[in-house]
Chain A
Amino acid sequence: MATQTPAHPHKDDGAVHAHISSTAFYVGVFLALIALTILTVGQSYVDLGRMNLIVVILIATTKASLVVTFFMHLRYDNKFNALIFVSCLFFIGVFFAYTLNDTERRGELDADQNVKVLPKTGEDAPGGFVQPTPAAAGGEHGATPASSGAAPAAH
Chain B
Amino acid sequence: MSSEATAAADAHDDHGHGHHGPKWLAHHFDTPAQQFDAAKLGMWVFLAQELLFFSGLFVAYGVYRSWYPEMFFAASHQLDKIMGGANTVVLLFSSFTAAMAVRSAQLGKQKATGNFILITIVCACFFLVVKYLEYTHKIHAGLLPGRYFHPHAEHLVAGAPALPANAGSFFGIYFMMTGIHGIHVIIGIGVLIWVWIRNNRGEFSKEYFTPVDIVALYWHLVDLVWIYLFPLLYLV
Interface residue ranges, A against B (CB under 8 Å): 1-2, 4-8, 11-18, 20-21, 23, 26-27, 29-30, 33-34, 37, 40-41, 43-44, 52-53, 56-57, 59-60, 63-64, 67-68, 70-73, 77-78, 80-81, 84-85, 87-89, 91-92, 95-96, 99-100, 103-104, 129, 131-132, 134, 136-137, 149-152, 154
Given A15-B32, A64-B228, A77-B40, check contact A103 B51 (CB 8 Å).
no
CA distance A100 to B59 in the complex (A): 8
6 interchain residue pairs of minimum CB distance: A14-B31, A88-B48, A44-B235, A30-B96, A154-B67, A81-B44
CB contacts (< 8 Å) of A21 on chain B: these are 103
Interface residue ranges, B against A (CB under 8 Å): 17-22, 30-34, 36-37, 40-41, 44-45, 47-48, 51-52, 55-56, 58-59, 62-63, 66-68, 70-71, 81, 85, 88-89, 92-93, 95-96, 98-100, 102-103, 106-107, 146-150, 164-166, 168, 206-208, 213, 216-217, 220, 223-224, 227-228, 230-232, 234-236
Contact A23 B33 (CB under 8 A): no
From A40, A132, A149, give the contact of B235 (CB < 8 A).
A40
User: Taking CB as reference atom, which chain A residue is nearest B70?
Assistant: A152
Among the interface residues B22, B96, B232, which one has the most CB atoms of the partner chain A within 10 A? B96
A-B contact count (CB 8 A): 191
